[in-house]
Each structure stands twice: as structure tokens, then as C-alpha cells.
Chain A
Amino acid sequence: MKNPLFEKALNDVPNYIDLFARNSINIIDEINLALEFKGWTQKELAKSLNKSESEISKWLSGGHNLTLKTISKLEDVLDAKLITTISKSHSYYVENFEFCPNIGGQENDGSKWSKGAEQYCSLPIDPMLYNLNGDVDLDESSTNINNMEEYLAA
């Protein structure tokens, strides 16, 4: 069921707003993933940044226009990479798997994190190289990170 008024309004939205909204949601997902990975609540994040909880809540709501400085502060206290640029992303992730905890073959509950690494890392990860789906024949140069613990142990 599609509402014609809603669909028409969506179709009229300028592309840059679509990109802004998607970037915004991707960054919020990254922040929440980093919070979850660190075992922090928004309250603890607020405390570490010396901000009020309501300010943090505002930062983390959809569509908030986070500045690069704010993102950098968040990366600092969360000890996690939240954004990167295309040319840097490949080498970064080869060296820093742990910054993307969702690609370690963790159990998904079918909803929250079930979209996989591409969605929640916001990065152009090559599935052939990393075999994210676990159903691709790998050659010797590929790295299977379906089970991150095994990979790191190896």
C-alpha cells in the first residue's frame, strides 16, 4: 500500500536532501553501534563529553546536522571511527577490523543489525574480498571474516 501524497512528496525531494538524510542515519547507526560495542548508554556518552543528556539526545536524533568537529569528538571518546573517505576506507578496514564489530559473524536477531556490514559500517566493503555472506568461494588472496575471532586468532 503506497499513499500517493506521500510518494509524490518523496519524489519531489531534492537529491541532496536524500543524501543528507541517509548520511545522517548512517552516522547515527555507527554511533549507536559504537555505544553498544563499548557498553555505554547515552548518559555515559554525555558525561564523557561534558554535555547534557538532552544535547546528546538531540545529536543522535535523525537528521541532526552534526559538524565534523562534533563527529571528531565523538570518535575520540568512543574510540571508534564513525566516518571515513572512500580512498581511505579500504586500507583502514584491512587494518582495523575491530572498529566494525558487526562484521564479525555475530548472531543477528533478524531485525536490529540484520542488514550486515554494508549498512552499518557505511563503507564500500567488497563482499568478494571479505566474503561477508559466507557463501562465496574464496581464492587464497581473500579473507573470510565470517568468524572474526577465528580470523584474529589465526
Chain B
Amino acid sequence: MNTFVQIELFNSSERVNYYTVRYLNGNYEGQEFSEAEKFLNRFNDKSHVYYEEFATILKLVQIIGENGALDHYFRKERLAVALPSYRGKVEEIQIVKDSQLRWYMMVVSESIVVLFNGGVKTVRGAEFCPQVGPYFNAANSFCKMIEEYILKEDIIVSTSQLISGYRDDEDIILYL
């Protein structure tokens, strides 16, 4: 059975438009929370053991929004197909030496970033981790699919926006 997700604008900042994805139910109705919101909901709790790391990641995302999504701010995870026109990679922000909290994202360009879900990595090799593996693997699937859609021009990458290749005002829906 196909899974449908919608790409939507999450937050605009000075130099970066952050997008996220939202799973759609069978009737194309969106779930209550997008993937980025689910990440926020899980960790935005000051009593959470990972709150300090979470808060730092949030601030880094905010500052990157002010500076632009420059290459050197990110740790590379698995490389997808590298194309010269954009950077199709799943990236993560990892903070503090011993922290294992990850927030996965795809940096499409210096001004477009797609935020996914994330979590706490408990074993070496994110894809095998029972905690973060599903989010890591989903992020890679989203990344691969977005890349394919861009190649087919079903998604148009403008200076700072992702636009449907069919109609400017149409929602971008991925069929996974």
C-alpha cells in the first residue's frame, strides 16, 4: 500500500525556508502533526533528560536560518545521489560530544532545508538503532523521493522555495 506525504512550509527565516513532511491518511487528510512537529513534541519538555541538547539543536536551526544552510554546519549521514544543482543528502545536527540526539534533515540548498523527525541514537549505525532507526530510514526515503521528484521536475526548486511542478499553488505530495 502506498504511503502519501505532503511537503509543507514549516518556518521561514531570514535566509532559510524550512519545510517538513506530513503523512496523509487514506482520504488525503493530513495527520495532526508534521514530522518536525512530532520531534518538537517529543523533546520540548524541560524535565526531559535530553532537553539541553534539544534546545541547542533548536537554536542551531534558528541561527542557520539567519546565516544560511552552509555546508560546514552539518554532519553528513548517508549520501544520496549527488547532483551539482543541489545537495541531496540526509544531514543531521549533532551536538555536544556525548550527545546522541539527532534531528534529520535534507539540505536542498543554502536557502531550503526539509526537516524530518529524529531521536536518540543508542547504537552505532543509525539504521540499526531501535530508537532512531525508523526516523533515519524514513528520512532517507523522503530524501530519495524528493530527489527523484526534483529530477522529474515534479518539484521545482526556486531560489528559496519548493514548488509543485504541476501548478504553483498545488500541494506537493509524495507517493512513497
Contact = CB atoms under 8 A, between A and B. Distances in A.
Contacts, number: 102
Interface stretch (A1-9, A71-79, A80-88, A138-146): A1-9
Interface residues of A, number: 34
Interface string A31-62: 01000000000000000000000000110111
Nearest to B94: A61
Contact of B10 (A6, A14, A20, A61): A6
Interface string A4-35: 01111110111001101110110011001000
Interface of A: 1-3, 5-10, 12-14, 17-18, 20-22, 24-25, 28-29, 32, 57-58, 60-65, 111-112, 115, 119
29 contacts: A1-B10, A1-B12, A2-B11, A3-B10, A3-B11, A3-B36, A6-B40, A9-B44, A9-B58, A12-B44, A13-B59, A20-B56, A21-B56, A22-B59, A24-B60, A25-B63, A25-B67, A28-B73, A57-B75, A58-B94, A58-B97, A60-B72, A61-B74, A61-B95, A62-B64, A62-B95, A64-B97, A111-B110, A111-B111
Interface of B: 9-12, 15, 36-37, 40-41, 44, 46, 52, 55-60, 62-64, 67-68, 70, 72-76, 93-97, 110-111
